[in-house]
């Protein structure tokens, strides 16, 4: 009696489906017009529960990816990223001769504070800071290191300087405050505003954050590995279980023969001796 292979069995199933299937335009068909059986039409459906289970079974791979990603990012941050330090000085935009007699004066003062924020980064102010400190830096580069903040509903200007040298950041912030207050006095034709707080050298770096960078690096590599494992799992159509037989061939398994790997090894060793 001739034995039928899996391919022949599947061919017979396709022929029977082709004769029995109704002519419906919504039926998914092969290129030659034959209708695909139901189990073929469901192959492209992704079972998220099975996919999650597959990823969970490889938790150790994901854990290694997380650790390696964090280690690589941490090493790169430590050896190749220059630490940055911040110093902040503050000035009060009203001078001693300025009088506040009404709410209107307060509103005008708030509007002037916004104007002074723009004046702080003008070339006249920045160039004078460069000259006083004898800095070997251009106007454009120094402007990038300086941030002017105006806290909400206040007449305070914060001058924040970020630089790889903590002492240099402090000197620039203090010099900037003095130059700016003189410039404001000239523009408003009043006495120079007062310095509320002088900058001090920071003992702790502002950036980079090792913990943040390590976390980002670990999560990114973990996601990359998870995507690779998912692609491998989704493209794997080999038959491993009786459920796979029913899924891919549309057949029910009548019996299963357990295989003992140890017996296979013994049989192979005996055959070699013969």
Question: From the CB of residue 36, how many other CB atoms can be counted at a distance below 10 Å?
Answer: 17
**Are residue 112 and residue 161 in the same domain, yes or no?**
yes
**Phi, psi torsion values for 189, nearest 5 degrees:** 60, 40
Nearest alpha carbon to residue 133 among 91, 156, 93, 161: 161
Pair (59, 128) in one structural domain:
no
pLDDT tens digits along 136-176: 999 999 999 999 998 876 788 899 999 999 999 999 999 99
Phi (first) and psi of residue 207, to 5 degrees: -155, 160
Predicted pLDDT at 227:
95
Identify each DSSP E strand in the chain by its residue range: 85-92, 146-149, 156-163, 194-197
* 134, 213: one domain: no
According to DSSP, residue 222 is labeled: H
Q: What share of the chain is helix, strand, coil (3-state, %, to 5)?
A: 55, 10, 35
Rounded to the nearest 10°, the torsion over CA 193, 197, 200, 204 is -130
Contact status, residue 119 vs residue 134, Cβ threshold 8 Å = no
For residues 143 and 68, state if they share a domain.
no
- Whether the per-residue pLDDT at 226 is higher than 90: the answer is yes
Say whether both 71 and 114 belong to one domain.
no
In angstroms, the CA 36 to CA 42 distance is: 10
Query: Which pLDDT tens digit goes with each residue over 79-133?
Result: 999 999 999 999 987 655 555 444 444 444 556 677 888 889 999 999 999 999 9
In a domain, 244, yes or no: no
- The domain tally of the chain equals 2
The answer to whether the predicted template modeling score (pTM) of the entire model surpasses 0.85 is: no
Q: What is the CATH number of the domain that holds 121?
A: 3.30.70
Q: Is 28 domain-assigned?
A: no
Residues in the chain: 274
Does 73 share its domain with 89? Answer: no
pLDDT at position 223 is: 96
User: Are 130 and 191 found together in one domain?
Assistant: yes
DSSP, collapsed to helix, strand or coil, labels residue 21 as coil
Same domain, 192 and 97: yes
Residues 168, 114 within the same domain: yes
Q: Are residues 106 and 183 in the same domain?
A: yes
Pairing of strands 146-149, 194-197: unpaired
Domain that holds residue 174: 85-197
């Amino acid at each position: 009696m001739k034995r039928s292979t899996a391919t022949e069995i599947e061919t017979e199933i396709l022929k029977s489906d082709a004769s029995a299937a109704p002519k419906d335009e919504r039926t998914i068909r092969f290129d030659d017009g034959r209708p695909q059986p139901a189990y073929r039409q469901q192959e492209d459906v992704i079972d998220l529960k099975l996919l999650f289970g597959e990823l969970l079974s490889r938790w150790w791979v994901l854990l290694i990816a997380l650790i390696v990603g964090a280690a690589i990012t941490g090493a790169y941050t430590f050896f190749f990223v220059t630490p940055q330090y911040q110093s902040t000085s503050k000035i009060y935009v009203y001078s001693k001769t300025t009088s506040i007699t009404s709410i209107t004066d307060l509103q005008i003062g708030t509007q002037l504070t916004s104007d002074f924020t723009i004046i702080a980064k003008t070339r006249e102010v920045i160039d004078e800071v460069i000259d006083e400190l004898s800095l070997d830096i251009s106007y454009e580069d120094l402007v990038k290191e300086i941030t002017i903040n105006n806290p909400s509903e206040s007449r305070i200007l914060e001058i924040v300087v970020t630089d790889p040298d903590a002492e240099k950041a402090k000197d620039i912030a203090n010099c900037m405050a003095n130059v700016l207050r003189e410039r404001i006095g000239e523009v408003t034709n009043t006495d120079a505003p007062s310095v509320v707080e002088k900058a001090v050298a920071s003992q702790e770096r502002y950036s980079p954050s090792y913990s943040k960078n390590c976390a980002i690096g670990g999560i990114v590599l973990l996601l990359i590995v998870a995507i690779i494992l998912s692609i491998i799992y989704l493209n794997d159509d080999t038959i491993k279980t009786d459920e796979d037989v029913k899924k891919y061939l549309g057949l029910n398994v009548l019996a299963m023969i357990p295989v003992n790997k140890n017996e296979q090894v013994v049989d192979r060793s005996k055959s070699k001796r013969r």
